[in-house]
Structure 1
Amino acid sequence: MAARRDITAWRPRVPGVTEVFHAHFTEYAYPMHVHESWTLLIVDDGAVRYDLDRHEHGTPHDTVSLLPPHVPHNGSPVTPHGFRKRVLYLDSTVLDDSLIGPAVDGPDLRDPLLRRRVGQVHAALARPGDELEAESRLLFVGERLREYLRPRIGTAAARERRDPVLARRLRELLDERLVPGLSLEDAAALLHAHPAHLVRAFTRAYGIAPHQYLTSRRVGRARRLLLDGLPPGEVAASAGFYDQAHLTRHFRKLVGVTPGRYRTGAAGERGDRQGRVIRPGAGSGS
């Protein structure tokens, strides 16, 4: 089957939703990366397999997958036909960080009612002028997700995710210096640790190397700026990349399309529903 990468992306005027992302991918696999927002995913066609916190998961048709922020994951199609997915990126006003551990323990929720409600949110978000309906429906989705996750808090706390102090402090430094960046030498001096020990501690705690974490956070910032309508050349510098080529290389690797095509898919009247489907054509792969 010819490679296909079609996306639609926009930022709605609905509190709690940082981005809506619809995609149809065939021959594309996401590498390990992180998001700063919650990722609420439903797959309409095909299936996705992914690793989260070193455990393999999947997305059968009736599943709602909830991937927590700051926890590395990847993703790839299960069949040659690829997958068609719809994603809501949600901020901490919908789900707070205390629920990250429970979400790691069980990210795939087989709940037909929840899945139907998530689909209703997407349908409302796709209709300009129906923001109040989308906001109302999202409240019920958030409520049901919290019902699932809160009973698990005690178990997650007892298990306690790998988050030693040194790794956490390095992550905080990387977050603080997202755009200017941070050398391992400077980080080692600030944290009073050997650079190699820093890398090992961070990777052991989060399952991703410091440079991969920083790059995926920068790509996330680039997505927001592109949704704001900024051109890729300006976004590159504002997101911490060396130049536009540097941005393009990593953006295409983590999102599946180039920044220019992503921005085209997010074009339209800003403030209303933004998004126009990108149809690069069979075999474009970019």
Structure 2
Amino acid sequence: MVDVIRAWHPAVPQVQEVLHARFDHHAYPAHTHDSWTVLLIDDGAVTYDLDRHDHLATPAAVTLLPPQVPHDGRSALPEQGFRKRVLYLDPGWLPPATINAVTDSPTLLGADALSTVTDIHAALADPADAFAAECGVLALREIANSRLVPATETAPDAPLARRLREMLDDRLLESFTIAEAAAELGAHRSHLVRVFTTTFGIAPHRYVIGRRVDRARRLLLTGRSPAEAAAESGFHDQAHLTRHFRSTLGTTPAIFSRR
């Protein structure tokens, strides 16, 4: 399912992870990240749904995916895969007020943005260039900020959805039911699930799985074994992690940690 994958955590402020990959057939299911995702397509093209709207990522521009907003992804070209480079940056890299604006317009156009991201990846290839990479991340932040207009949130039930999301984040490693969450939040179970799905474009259980896979991936990069990563990410066991990890990332935890 995957030809090439390489991931690492560089010693660069605000950079949580770097991922280089080539996929021939893998399609990402809907998932979220707790970080800003900066996507650079080197070959092919990717079509993706971000908050229930279709978009296209190509080598001509940089794509920004905001934290906590569901997205998926697949090759836009029949019988052809794609090659990509990804930066996962701290949630505070851009202000929270820009999340809605990026969700509406995730494509960051301009030769300056493209060259800045390319330079960041070049610097990340050598630990000696960590300072250059850090400066590039800050420069990219300024470019993005200069083109984003904060949008306002109008969904009437968004506060309830946010409270559930905070609960899921706080209790990510625990097992509890929607019934328990609804009782704690003073809402009906069906209404709570509906509000969350409507507000964030992803069902609560899919949100939790995505967050747990993210956590497991980071733990694997620190040297944890797949079994340890499963236990420390809220999965029932290694097989449970492997099933969802493969579905989300197109490879197994064991292969990912080796590469």
TM-score category by the smaller chain?
Answer: over 0.9
Give the aligned residue type for 1:59.
Answer: A
2:92 matches 1:88: no
How far residue 102 of structure 1 moved from its aligned partner, in angstroms, is 1.0
d(CA) in 2 for partners of 1:144, 1:243: 43
**Alignment partner of 1:61 is 2:67:** no
Deviation at 1:76, TM superposition (A): 0.3
Greater CA drift, 115-124 or 90-99: 90-99
Deviation at 1:196, TM superposition (A): 1.4
Establish whether residue 46 from structure 1 lines up as the match of residue 40 from structure 2.
Answer: no
Q: CA deviation at 1:148?
A: 1.2
> Counterpart amino acid of 2:144?
L
**Counterpart of 1:166?**
160
Residue 59 of structure 2 aligns with an amino acid whose one-letter code is H
Whose relative contact order is higher, 1 or 2, with alpha carbons under 8 Å and at least 6 apart? 1
After alignment, is 9-18 or 57-66 more displaced? Answer: 57-66
| Residues 38-77 of structure 1: CA deviation (Å, up to 9, x unaligned) | 0000100000000011110001221100000000000000
Structure 1 residues 251-266: aligned runs within 5 Å: 251-265=245-259
Contact 1:5 1:257 in 2 (8 A): no
Task: From the superposition, tell whether residues 33 and 163 of structure 1 become closer, same or farther in structure 2 (CA, over 3 Å).
Answer: farther
Native 8 Å contact 2:45 2:75 kept in 1: yes
Match of 2:125 in 1: 126
Deviates further, 90-99 or 256-265:
90-99
Of 178, 184, 198, 2:178 maps to 184
- Note the residue ranges of structure 1 that are not aligned, 5 or more in a row: 266-286
Which amino acid counterpart does residue 94 of structure 1 have in structure 2?
W
Q: What one-letter code is carried by the residue in structure 2 that aligns with 1:86?
A: R
Counterpart Cα distance in 2 of 1:106 and 1:161: 19
1:101 positional shift: 1.0
Deviation at 1:92, TM superposition (A): 3.2
* 1:274 aligned partner: none
Deviation at 1:93, TM superposition (A): 3.9
Shift of 1:161: 5.8
1:4-56 deviations in Å (ceiling 9; x for gaps): 43111000000010000111001110000000000000100000000011110
Q: Does 1:198 align with 2:192?
A: yes
Q: Which residue of 1 aligns with 2:205?
A: 211
Structure 2: distance between partners of 1:126 and 1:137: 13
Q: Does 1:230 align with 2:224?
A: yes
The answer on 1:143 being equivalent to 2:137 is no
Instruction: State the SS of the aligned residue for 1:129.
Output: helix
Identity %: 51
Deviation at 1:95, TM superposition (A): 1.3
Determine the C-alpha separation between the residues in 2 that align with 1:161 and 1:122.
38
TM-score by length of 2: 0.96
TM-score by length of 1: 0.87
- The secondary structure found in structure 2 opposite 1:39 is strand
8 Å CA contact 1:101, 1:161 repeated in 2: no
Q: CA deviation at 1:111?
A: 1.1
In the TM superposition, structure 1's runs of 4+ consecutive aligned residues that sit over 2 Å from their partners are 159-163
Give secondary structure in 1 for the equivalent of 2:202: coil
CA distance in 2: counterparts of 1:244 and 1:85, whole angstroms:
28
CA root-mean-square deviation = 1.3
Which stretch has the larger CA shift, 199-208 or 240-249?
199-208
Query: C-alpha separation between the residues in 1 aligned to 2:175 and 2:19?
Result: 28
8 A Cα contact 1:37 1:91, kept in partner: yes
1:14 aligns with 2:12: yes
Mark the CA change 1:181 to 1:97 in structure 2 (over 3 Å): closer, same or farther: farther
